[in-house]
């Protein structure tokens, strides 16, 4: 009897959250359809690839369907929306965006979502939050993006002889690893490893042109620990082995032409 009463009250409470403009009587209680799972993996992929509009649109569409289905319950619905929005803000925080503005948005998100008495109020709150998210993203990302990507390219050029990894660069520039991997490819037109190898071979060409440094030493000076691998990569980019390049010193211009600049 107690369990039946509890279940009925729970159903009424849920129905009340979804029915702001309706009068509900005890006999109107219903059993809602199962909640639709939220595709968090897809959402995170969009966040880390900087597709904030796509991520927020996905969340908004799911929220709208949840309201139409009247499921899940109020607490679960609010928690999921808050967690998803916090994922976006945390990603921005990791990438060096305005910490004070992010903290303010986190506070606003928590208050507006928590204080929504009905599902329709939650939708309206979400739309207001969405506007603030897009505003902050558009204000800061273009400026930060141009600066950071060019700084990363310069950093790789300067430190290419070191045992550099994408994770090292991500930590140095306070970037999320997955975000940086996607962002690097989009802005430099090739992946990190390819760009690093290209920078190392440019440096190797300079050293080989001097004509007095053994190839085995050049290999280590540009960041390669394996001589045969160095020769393989060198030939891939120049079409010649290091020894062949040295014999034809001056006949082959440095590869890659001008360094890329973030336009």
pLDDT per residue over 175-224, tens digit each? 667 667 766 666 666 788 999 999 999 999 999 988 778 999 999 999 99
SS3 track for the chain: CHHHHHHHHHHHHHHHHHCCCCCCCHHHCCCCCCCCCCCHHHHHHHHHCCCHHHHHHHHHHHHHHHHHHCCCCHHHHHHHHHHHHHHHHHHHHHCCCCHHHHHHHHHHHHHHHHCCCCHHHHHHHHHHHHHHHHHHHHHHHHHHHHHHHHHHHHHHHHHCCCCCCHHHHHHHCCCCHHHHHHHHHHHHCCCHHHHHHHHHHHHHHHHHHHCCCCHHHHHHHCCCCCHHHHHHHHHHHHCCCHHHHHHCCCCCCCCCCCCCCCC
Task: Please indicate, yes or no, if residue 31 is contained in any of the structural domains.
Answer: yes
Mind listing the pLDDT tens digit for each residue in 90-105? Answer: 988 887 788 899 999 9
Same domain, 24 and 128: yes
If asked whether residues 47 and 119 sit together in one domain, one would say yes
Q: What is the pLDDT of residue 262?
A: 40
The model carries a pTM of: 0.53
Q: Say what the pLDDT of residue 23 is.
A: 47
Q: Are residues 56 and 122 located together in one domain of the fold? A: yes
Whether pLDDT at 258 is above 70: no
Please check whether residues 126 and 13 belong to one and the same domain. yes
Binned at pLDDT 50, 70 and 90, residue 31 comes out as low
Whether residues 10 and 101 share a domain: the answer is: yes
> Is 135 in the same domain as 210?
no
Taking only the tens place, the pLDDT of each residue in 55-72 is 898 999 999 999 988 889
Q: List, for residues 134-178, the tens digit of each pLDDT value.
A: 888 878 766 555 556 678 888 999 999 998 998 888 788 766 676
50 and 121 within one domain: yes
Which domain covers residue 121, as residue numbers?
2-141
- Report the chain's mean pLDDT, rounded to a whole number: 81
How does pLDDT run across 124-142, given as a tens digit for each residue? 999 999 889 988 887 876 6
For the chain, how many structural domains are there in total?
Answer: 2
Question: 131 and 59: one domain?
Answer: yes
Could you tell me if 137 and 201 lie in one domain? Answer: no
- Based on the fold, state whether residues 79 and 9 are members of the same structural domain: yes
pLDDT (0 to 100) of residue 171: 80
């Amino acid at each position: 009897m107690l369990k039946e009463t509890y279940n009925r009250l729970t159903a009424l409470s849920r129905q009340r959250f979804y029915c702001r403009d309706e009068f509900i009587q005890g006999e109107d209680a219903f059993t809602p359809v199962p909640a639709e799972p939220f595709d968090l993996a897809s959402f995170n992929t969009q966040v880390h690839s900087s597709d904030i509009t796509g991520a927020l649109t996905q969340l908004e569409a799911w929220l709208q369907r949840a309201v139409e289905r009247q499921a899940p319950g109020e607490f679960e619905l609010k928690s999921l929306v808050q967690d998803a929005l916090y994922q976006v803000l945390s990603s921005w925080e990791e990438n060096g965006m305005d910490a004070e503005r992010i903290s303010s948005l986190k506070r606003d998100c928590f208050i507006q979502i928590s204080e929504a008495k009905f599902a329709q109020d939650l939708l309206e709150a979400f739309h207001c939050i969405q506007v603030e998210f897009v505003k902050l993203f558009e204000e800061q990302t273009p400026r930060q993006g141009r600066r950071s990507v060019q700084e990363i390219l310069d950093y790789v050029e300067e430190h290419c002889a070191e045992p550099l990894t994408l994770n090292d660069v991500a930590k140095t520039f306070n970037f999320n690893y997955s975000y940086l991997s996607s962002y690097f490819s989009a802005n430099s037109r090739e992946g990190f490893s390819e760009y690093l190898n290209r920078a190392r071979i440019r440096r190797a060409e300079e050293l080989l042109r001097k004509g007095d440094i053994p190839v085995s030493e050049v290999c280590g000076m540009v960041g390669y620990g394996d001589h045969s691998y160095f020769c393989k990569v060198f030939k891939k980019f120049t079409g010649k082995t290091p020894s062949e390049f040295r014999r034809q010193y001056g006949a082959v211009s440095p590869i890659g032409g001008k360094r890329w600049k973030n336009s």
